Structure 1
Amino acid sequence: MKLSRTKQASETGLPGAPIPWREIRLASGLVLATFLLTHFSNHALGLVSVDAMEAGRAWFNRLWRNPVGTILLYGSLLLHFGLALQALYRRRTLRMPVREAAQLALGLSLPFLLIGHVTGTRIEWALTGHDSGYPEVVRSLWLLNPGIGMRQAIALIIAWLHGCLGVYFWLRPKPWFPAWALLLYTGAILVPLLALLGFAEAGQEIADAPEFFALRVPPASDLLPLIGPALYAFFGGLLALTIAGRILRSANLWSRRVRIRYPNDQVVTVPAGFSVLEASRTAGIPHISVCGGRGRCSTCRVRVIDGLEHQPAPTAQERGTLARIKAGPNVRLACQFRPVGEIAVVPILSTGRNGVTALVRGGRAQGQEREVAVLFCDLRGFTGLTEKRLPFDTVFILNRYFEAVGEAVEDAGGYIDKFIGDGVLALFGLSTSPQEAARQALDAALRIKAGLTRLNEDYASEFEHPLRIAMSLHAGPAIVGQMGYGQATSLTAVGDTINAASRLEGLAKELDVELVISEDLATRAGLDLSDRNRQIVSIRGRAAPLGSWIIPEAGSLARL
């Protein structure tokens, strides 16, 4: 009965539910990231003038120096550091991907890097009432103490990098992240760059203005020299206690060991309390984890083939993730599953031998639903053409055709999914909006038609009849991910949208036309085809028929 109440509380958020530490850490981190963004933006105003920086600082102080802003900022800083210590303590192994290690190390170093800056500005203001403005701070850090200024700049960049890594781990599993990644990366680089340029420009302006050298610096508080060392001792003591706690816990846990068996007769023995993912990392066994072991994705999931009885039940977060992917009862998240007895597991998503891991980091290996545009094309009557030619001649012609199609698709912004005989499947929208994907697919079809025309002209003497093509364009949702086995694994798409596009390509052959466009794609591409022949197509296995436009000559669309 107690277990039932605990499970119910964890799902409903009633008293007794587990504290959502990850969400709290994320919220505190976003507060700190917002502070850094406003702080850097204020620095960037130095590209205008020192007076502009001072005007911006007035708004900055209103935002962060009121009681609410102060509690929110410094409460988030202390909470975030405390949760970083908690994460350090809870980790059973310090083996982790470089990005995770960098995020943890940078987070733990932040207080030590920022103590000098905070002491010289915020604490001095609290003790003496003296509000150091940009003219005074820039003069001190740019002219009088450039070494300290350099250290402060490095500290702020490290803080920004830590925040960017946290946001990256948070957003990476989101299905829309690949489409926005370039914009976010650009912003992450520009913000500190503009801030440093603004600070340097302000420093040059002050160096060229003698009146700034007359600024009078009031005497500092007698307590100020004592506060810095005290803060260093406080944060350093917390870090030392956490490391000591890890050592004591490890000594205790090693007395209770758990054996985990992997494929290929690999056996890993770890202390009780280790997760399966931590066991894999301890033993150096490749194990995919897109979200960094936070339970936000399902890429680390394993199938438990022996020993699942008497193991702890999934946590609320693990249950939620497994429910979203409709996992079977013997599937667990390796990052959340902490076995208490011997088990045998098989990682469901293997890194394999063909370099899939690099693509997995982009979030595609586990399969994502995306709105894509699909292009199918196929040569007409090619079988009859090959009957009269040597095999090497056939290969030469096919390669020229594939080259024309591949260049057309890539120039339009698409991705060649696969070549099937003399047919080609291309995808659009892996990193763009559905509307842009539809326009790219249409552009690719026109380029393919133009390329085939050039091919017919170049090899007219070789062909008894010009090469002809049948194409189809469709748009809709599809599951995009790494599929296949061994060396045959590749990025591809499956679903009703792909099947419907294939059926439309078959219709183009039946009607002896060059192109059939679905209404879905035409609408997304903003294409008005009301003066063209329209047909309703029944798709096998699909309840609703599909409206489509019949285009006898693809080149005619170039005039629209």
Structure 2
Amino acid sequence: MQVLLRGDWRQRLRLISGLILFAFATTHFLNHALALFDLQAMYEVQQWRWIVTRSWPGTIILAAALVTHIVLALDKLSDRATLRLPAWEFIQLALGLAIPFLLLPHIVNTRFARDIFGVNDTYLYELARLWPDSAVLQSTLLLLVWIHGCMGIHFWLRLYAPYRKFQPLLLLIAIAIPIAALGGFMVGGRAVAQMIADPKTFDEVKQLSHWPSPDNADRLAAMRLIVRLVFAAMLTAALGLLVWPAIQRRYWPHFIINYVGAGSANCTFGPTLLEISRMNGIPHASVCGGRARCSTCRVRVEEGIDAVPPATFPEAVTLASIGAPQNVRLACQVRPRGPMTVTRLLRPSTASPADVDEAERGSEGIEKPLAAFVLDLRDFTRLSQKKMPHDIVFMLNEVFAAAGSAIAVHDGWIDKFIGDGLLAVFGEKHGIEIGCRQALRAARDIDLALDHINAKMEAEFGRPLRVGIGIEAGPLLMGRIGYGPNVDMTVIGSAVNVASRLEAVAKEKGAQVVISHEVARLAGWTPAPELLSKVDIRGVSEPLEIVAIPRGRDLPASLLASIEDVDERVVGRAAF
């Protein structure tokens, strides 16, 4: 199932109702913004919007969306076992609870006033009534609604990779709309305030808008108080449903949840495993906020699988998407019934959509053709013998920063740092052919970056810093490997071992880069014969044909073509 559609029926209904309300708010705020240009345009667009929103179908849909969203939000609040939440989730919750206290009275002043007392609640009426006495309160409502809605949409869509490509543009739009709306409200409010400063004009405005009589104004005030009290009662009931089980749990049977590598927690039946972690201060990854949309909170049940109820439909869908075994469950969905021992399968610091992408790819291990890239700093022992520890750390960080930047630019990722060296992988995103080309381009960029580093550090260390690089291509196993909290996505396979041996061969041959001939072939490069040779590689049955390159900058210009150019050539070959 598509990641955006995961979740139970309540989550989907809350999402749909929220999107309807956000669409209404967006058009409403854009309508506000028109006052920056022309009050008449502001009024005319409002009439067009009313054709939809004030129609019976529109009214029913909006009213149902508002009631549904509020009720389901309170239901979710009452179902929580703890309010120890990530900052973003707590802020969104607090904003959502504050909005009805300001929004419901606003609805009374507009739609209720129109339907019950015949008020013509156009912008002229609203601006005359709100500016300037209620300007701050109304502006606060606008910002609360917008921020709450944007947060909800962001934390829903951020699991969707295409959204992240347009995120900077959407952020700009999300900032511009409320600024424009507030600006329009201010300009329109001042214009109307100047207009009604004349008592005769104000009387005309009251007649045109059917301004509420004093008795009707008192009734509207009573309605505003009633809707606030009703929501306050609903909120109190939800909080009561949150607090009462917490009191009851003090007297229920308790049991122990053991976290491998993170201690234990004393708990009782009711909270989810994710809530148990939060209640006991045990770090636990959760990108989607406990909605079963991602798998970052998943755990492996080492002992006590019988204490875990069967997976619900949303949990089963998410676990199936990553091919999880039977003893792997989502902590946000599991409500333990007895003692358990679990291992958190992702680092507790996992907090970004990229982590979700990584978590859900190759979760249980997949084999994929990739390019392994091993880099090692030459003469490190000799360089470090007469230097202070902080100098050595500074030097390594300079080299790793340059190498890491070159690797990242060319869509590689660093698998691990090994002392004064590193292992990187290319081709996971674009395939093995482009991956080999990108690995060679990264080697060239690292060579050029060393010039800048040596210009700063050669005088201090007495000799230029040099690196050796080995690159091999072949099938590698990708999977999350480790123990307890130290579980990371990594690669293993023959290509890694061969790349490490080729880096050693580079030192023997006095070259900076040594690659297998297979890497050159996949990259679309035919090396000059003088660069070719065969060497015996431990672990490889036959001599391996290699290409020894004196410097990364010596690689041919044909390897520097963009990925788009390479893609076009690949497509062209496929067409024939």
Q: TM-score higher than 0.5 here?
A: yes
1:293-312 equivalences in 2 (<5 Å): 293-309=290-306, 311-312=308-309
- Cα 1:289–1:513 shift into 2, 3 Å: closer
Larger mean Cα displacement after TM superposition, 66-75 or 99-108: 99-108
Check the 8 A contact 1:368/1:480 in 2, yes or no: no
Distance 2:449 2:44 in 1: 59
Larger mean Cα displacement after TM superposition, 418-427 or 64-73: 418-427
- Please tell me whether residue 241 in structure 1 is matched to residue 237 in structure 2: yes
Residue 268 of structure 1, CA deviation: 0.9
Q: Report the equivalent of 2:61.
A: 72
Give the secondary-structure state (helix, strand or coil) at the position aligned to 2:306.
coil
| 1:277 aligned residue (274, 279, 297) | 274
Check the 8 A contact 2:370/2:435 in 1, yes or no: yes
Distance 1:210 1:477 in 2: 76
Check the 8 A contact 1:275/1:336 in 2, yes or no: yes
Aligned residues: 514
Task: Give me the TM-score of the superposition, normalised by structure 2.
Answer: 0.69
- Cα 1:449–1:517 shift into 2, 3 Å: farther
Check the 8 A contact 1:375/1:472 in 2, yes or no: yes
Q: Report the equivalent of 1:90.
A: 79
Check the 8 A contact 2:304/2:341 in 1, yes or no: no
Distance 1:490 1:305 in 2: 15
Q: Report the equivalent of 2:108.
A: 119
- Cα 1:210–1:402 shift into 2, 3 Å: same
- 1:442-475 superposed Cα distances (whole Å, 9 cap, x missing partner): 8755543333456788969x99999586576999
Residue 75 of structure 1, CA deviation: 0.6
Larger mean Cα displacement after TM superposition, 41-50 or 252-261: 252-261
- Please tell me whether residue 37 in structure 1 is matched to residue 26 in structure 2: yes
- 1:81-118 superposed Cα distances (whole Å, 9 cap, x missing partner): 11112112222333333333332332233222112221
Check the 8 A contact 1:512/1:552 in 2, yes or no: no
**Amino acid corresponding to residue 71 of structure 1 in structure 2:** I
- Cα 1:480–1:344 shift into 2, 3 Å: closer
- 1:178-199 superposed Cα distances (whole Å, 9 cap, x missing partner): 5554444444333322322232
Check the 8 A contact 1:413/1:428 in 2, yes or no: no
Give the secondary-structure state (helix, strand or coil) at the position aligned to 2:43.
helix
**Amino acid corresponding to residue 348 of structure 1 in structure 2:** R
Give the secondary-structure state (helix, strand or coil) at the position aligned to 1:309.
helix
Q: Report the equivalent of 1:15.
A: none
Distance 2:181 2:475 in 1: 43
| 1:216 aligned residue (205, 209, 218) | 205
Larger mean Cα displacement after TM superposition, 489-498 or 172-181: 489-498
Distance 1:530 1:282 in 2: 58
Root-mean-square deviation (CA, aligned residues, Å) is 5.4
- Please tell me whether residue 154 in structure 1 is matched to residue 140 in structure 2: yes
Distance 2:510 2:191 in 1: 74
**Amino acid corresponding to residue 401 of structure 2 in structure 1:** G
Residue 28 of structure 1, CA deviation: 0.9
Check the 8 A contact 1:372/1:428 in 2, yes or no: no
Q: Report the equivalent of 1:407.
A: 402
Distance 1:463 1:194 in 2: 60
Check the 8 A contact 1:373/1:429 in 2, yes or no: yes
Residue 492 of structure 1, CA deviation: 6.3
Give the secondary-structure state (helix, strand or coil) at the position aligned to 1:266.
strand
Residue 208 of structure 1, CA deviation: 6.2
Distance 2:150 2:79 in 1: 23
- Cα 1:339–1:292 shift into 2, 3 Å: same
Check the 8 A contact 2:307/2:336 in 1, yes or no: no
Q: Report the equivalent of 2:359.
A: 367
Q: Report the equivalent of 1:266.
A: 264
Give the secondary-structure state (helix, strand or coil) at the position aligned to 1:140.
helix
Distance 1:518 1:59 in 2: 68
- Please tell me whether residue 168 in structure 1 is matched to residue 168 in structure 2: no
Distance 2:23 2:517 in 1: 45
Larger mean Cα displacement after TM superposition, 184-193 or 441-450: 441-450
**Amino acid corresponding to residue 148 of structure 2 in structure 1:** H
Check the 8 A contact 2:277/2:284 in 1, yes or no: yes
**Amino acid corresponding to residue 220 of structure 1 in structure 2:** P
Check the 8 A contact 1:470/1:508 in 2, yes or no: no
Distance 2:85 2:344 in 1: 20
Q: Report the equivalent of 1:201.
A: 187
Residue 27 of structure 1, CA deviation: 1.0
Q: Report the equivalent of 2:448.
A: 450
1:17-32 equivalences in 2 (<5 Å): 20-32=9-21
- Cα 1:261–1:530 shift into 2, 3 Å: closer
Distance 2:33 2:520 in 1: 44
Distance 2:285 2:477 in 1: 23
Give the secondary-structure state (helix, strand or coil) at the position aligned to 2:257.
strand
Distance 1:375 1:350 in 2: 24
Q: Report the equivalent of 1:8.
A: none
Structure 1 residue ranges without an equivalent (≥5)? 1-17, 542-547
Give the secondary-structure state (helix, strand or coil) at the position aligned to 2:225.
helix
- 1:390-429 superposed Cα distances (whole Å, 9 cap, x missing partner): 8448998997687356336538964765544665455799
Give the secondary-structure state (helix, strand or coil) at the position aligned to 1:96.
coil
- Please tell me whether residue 315 in structure 1 is matched to residue 312 in structure 2: yes
- Cα 1:360–1:431 shift into 2, 3 Å: farther
Distance 2:235 2:558 in 1: 67
Check the 8 A contact 1:428/1:440 in 2, yes or no: yes
- Cα 1:307–1:124 shift into 2, 3 Å: same
Give the secondary-structure state (helix, strand or coil) at the position aligned to 1:345.
strand
Larger mean Cα displacement after TM superposition, 105-114 or 202-211: 202-211
Larger mean Cα displacement after TM superposition, 490-499 or 192-201: 490-499
Q: Report the equivalent of 1:5.
A: none
Residue 285 of structure 1, CA deviation: 3.0
- Cα 1:284–1:27 shift into 2, 3 Å: same
Check the 8 A contact 1:376/1:501 in 2, yes or no: no
**Amino acid corresponding to residue 281 of structure 1 in structure 2:** R
Structure 2 residue ranges without an equivalent (≥5)? 1-6, 363-367, 533-538, 541-546, 562-576
Check the 8 A contact 2:520/2:526 in 1, yes or no: no
1:432-451 equivalences in 2 (<5 Å): 445-451=443-449
Distance 1:401 1:251 in 2: 54
- Please tell me whether residue 57 in structure 1 is matched to residue 49 in structure 2: no
- Cα 1:372–1:118 shift into 2, 3 Å: farther
Check the 8 A contact 1:514/1:553 in 2, yes or no: no
